[in-house]
A and B are shown apart, each in its own frame.
Chain A
Amino acid sequence: MAEINVSVETGDEPPPPPKHPNTCPACHSHYRDDELAAALWVCAHCGYHFAMRARARIDHLADDGSFLEEATELHSEDPLGFFDLRPYTERLAEAELSTGLADAMVIGQATLDGRGCELAVMDFSFMGGSMGSVVGEKFSRACDSAAERGVPLISVTSSGGARMQEGILALMQLPKTVCAVEDLRDAGQPLLSVMAHPTTGGVLASFSTLGDVLLAEPGALMSFAGPRVVQQITKEKLPEDFGLAEQNLRFGNIDAIVPRPELREKLSTLLRLFDAPV
């Protein structure tokens, strides 16, 4: 039988970087740090959406001073003693040092235009935004916090998929987060899911696509299997917009594509529609 290679993990390496992180990979425009930050990391020339860090996203979405972070104490363990070319513990320590985050998700209470909500925001810089036990637990707690306080949950995802280094326990974060969303539903609160580039593999196949409303950023890759895997296995010619937000919108898999500068306003409208408490 042919070797079959299918997974919820599409790798934790970002695509080959442009010459400089501030150079737009689409049109090669170059920006200073402050220019990019002021433009919410969107290319002023062509509209390309650069990756946005979790803290910056929260600063942008939450009303000033309203964000109260939760579950800051959670850290990953190494249940399998996983060792590939380097030990998992070393990769974790390095990611923590380079990102200043404890893991790939930040959660907490906030208000947006005065309305209460819970935020669960992923950061691709931390091991490709991969979902292991800590991400699963944080998302799960965000659901509980939203349910207890009677506010909607807004998730912003950016993830290559499940974290291979945690083996089967990483896969178990799919049913774990799904069960958390179902408990949130029973509590009568909505999940508003924003999918940024990339939202693939195990995060796409769990909580992110269970939102009551599904939004995506322009050009975000949202495929279960990565383009390379699909090509290898099926030998099919991939359409140009394979797995992108635009294709997903056309096929009815998401509700809307929202450019980053409009996201806050759209979420504010949704919070009003779902009667989030003032």
Chain B
Amino acid sequence: MPPSEHELRLRERLGRLRNMPLLGGAKLSGDLQRFQKQLDRLQQEATDEEIWRSVQLARHDNRPYTLDYVERLLDDWFELHGDRGNADDGAMVVGLGKLDGRTVALVGQQKGRDIKERAERRFGMPNPEGYRKAMRVMQLADRHGFPVLSLVDTPGAYPGVAAEQHGQGGTIASSQAVMARLNVPTVACVIGEGGSGGAIAIALADRVLMQENAIYSVISPEGCAMILWRDAGEAKKAAAAFKPDAAHCLELGVIDGIVPEPPGGAHTDPDAAARLLKESVAEALEELVDLPGDELRRRRRAKFRSLGVFA
């Protein structure tokens, strides 16, 4: 099989870094390591077992959630609430904070830790009110020139009667449309489950990252197994077939980079996981902040419009 475009791009960047005189020191060798690691991942096809391990780690009970990263990444965190129409959805967290001294707007799904919080936050599955809350804050960011950081962690948008009545599908479409129109830099990172429409609603970003053990998929493995195998128990087979792991997403051009996790997964050392996440996000933002808004928008749309494989 010929090397994919992404492999070539990584190789090219890797080669450039290797040949550079060591001026940048630590930063440079960090990049080198990261690219080498991504390249290694691309070269060795993830096995079915590894894919399933990602599914399990992405859903691990102790995996850091959005607010765990917020407290480690952002200073002066100020949470904002409500969609200004109907409700304040606990499954979606939004607010403002300082990332390395720069004000950013944060949006992200939030799962709960204990039974009570899980119910309140609906396992991180937002209602349309949650997406409207996110849109409101993204538009606020647009007005004030704040970059948007989006942390994606949801099994999917909430499939409820009221959610449908209040326009779940249309709201997910509108949220993407808002992101396609923003004039500020946007970085999204899938930190756990990137579940379907509920995830892409806040992931139409200039740079899309995925943590090493996160998953990003069109359907849950159980849902896919139910429909195609008529048996939710075949989830492992389904996951192996549709490949929701970070390495495959990178290979398909769906994401721009993989954020490394501490050995054993993000839950083993949330502080280290947050440090690694912050590095990648800061690096991505650095590449974007000097671009004019219309140029960001043009490139963002061109990127998403190029996705797909056909003959």
| B308, A171: Cβ atoms closer than 8 Å | no
| B196, A84: Cβ atoms closer than 8 Å | no
Residues of A with C-beta under 8 A to B181: 182
A23-49 contacts to B (CB < 8 Å): none
Q: Does B78 contact A (CB under 8 A)?
A: no
What's the least CB distance linking A272 to chain B, in Å?
Answer: 26
Q: Does A95 contact B (CB under 8 A)?
A: no
| B241, A133: Cβ atoms closer than 8 Å | no
Q: Residue-by-residue, is A163-186 near B (CB-CB < 8 Å gives 1, otherwise 0)?
A: 011111111111110111111000
Please give me the residue from chain B that is nearest to A174 by CB atom: B200
Say whether chain B's binding surface is mostly helix, strand, loop, or mixed: helix
Q: Does B82 contact A (CB under 8 A)?
A: no
Q: Does A121 contact B (CB under 8 A)?
A: no
What's the least CB distance linking A139 to chain B, in Å?
Answer: 11
| B309, A169: Cβ atoms closer than 8 Å | yes
**Given the interface contacts A176-B308, A224-B197, does A209 sit within 8 Å of B232 by beta carbon?**
no
| B252, A79: Cβ atoms closer than 8 Å | yes
Q: Does B176 contact A (CB under 8 A)?
A: yes
| B161, A251: Cβ atoms closer than 8 Å | no
Contact of A168 among B59, B165, B172, B244 (CB under 8 A): B244
Q: Does A242 contact B (CB under 8 A)?
A: yes
Contact of A7 among B118, B156, B161 (CB under 8 A): B156
Contact of A133 among B158, B165, B174, B309 (CB under 8 A): B309
**Given the interface contacts A9-B227, A175-B304, A209-B170, does A167 sit within 8 Å of B244 by beta carbon?**
yes
| B310, A5: Cβ atoms closer than 8 Å | no
Residues of A with C-beta under 8 A to B198: 6
Residues of A with C-beta under 8 A to B170: 204-205, 209, 253
| B173, A178: Cβ atoms closer than 8 Å | yes
| B176, A175: Cβ atoms closer than 8 Å | yes
Q: Does B17 contact A (CB under 8 A)?
A: no
| B157, A168: Cβ atoms closer than 8 Å | no
**Given the interface contacts A1-B61, A80-B243, does A179 sit within 8 Å of B156 by beta carbon?**
no
| B310, A230: Cβ atoms closer than 8 Å | no
Which of A14-22, A70-78, A112-120, A146-154 lines the interface with chain B? A70-78
| A174, B241: Cβ atoms closer than 8 Å | no
Q: Does B223 contact A (CB under 8 A)?
A: yes
Count chain A residues whose beta carbon lies closer than 8 angstroms to a beta carbon of B: 75
| A6, B228: Cβ atoms closer than 8 Å | no
Residues of B with C-beta under 8 A to A218: none
Instruction: Give the docked Cα–Cα distance between A8 and B170 (Å).
Output: 12
Which of B102-110, B212-220, B270-278 lines the interface with chain A? B212-220
Please give me the residue from chain B that is nearest to A71 by CB atom: B310
| A85, B229: Cβ atoms closer than 8 Å | yes
| A140, B305: Cβ atoms closer than 8 Å | yes
| A224, B180: Cβ atoms closer than 8 Å | no
| B180, A4: Cβ atoms closer than 8 Å | no
What's the least CB distance linking B261 to chain A, in Å?
Answer: 20
Instruction: Give the docked Cα–Cα distance between A11 and B227 (Å).
Output: 6
Residues of A with C-beta under 8 A to B241: 80, 82-84, 167
What's the least CB distance linking B110 to chain A, in Å?
Answer: 15
Residues of B with C-beta under 8 A to A174: 172-173, 176, 197, 200
Q: Does A68 contact B (CB under 8 A)?
A: no
Please give me the residue from chain A that is nearest to B118 by CB atom: A1
| A172, B308: Cβ atoms closer than 8 Å | yes
Contact of A4 among B125, B172, B176, B304 (CB under 8 A): B125
Q: Does B226 contact A (CB under 8 A)?
A: yes
Q: Does B282 contact A (CB under 8 A)?
A: no
Q: Does B164 contact A (CB under 8 A)?
A: yes
Q: Residue-by-residue, is B190-216 near A (CB-CB < 8 Å gives 1, otherwise 0)?
A: 000001111111011000000000001
Q: Does A247 contact B (CB under 8 A)?
A: yes
**Given the interface contacts A5-B232, A170-B218, A182-B177, does A176 sit within 8 Å of B305 by beta carbon?**
yes
10 tightest A-B contacts by CB? A6-B156, A225-B159, A133-B308, A204-B169, A7-B219, A209-B170, A224-B169, A84-B228, A167-B242, A179-B301
Assuming A3-B232, A167-B242, what are 7 further A-B pairs, CB within 8 angstroms? Answer: A1-B118, A3-B222, A77-B309, A168-B243, A202-B218, A205-B172, A236-B160
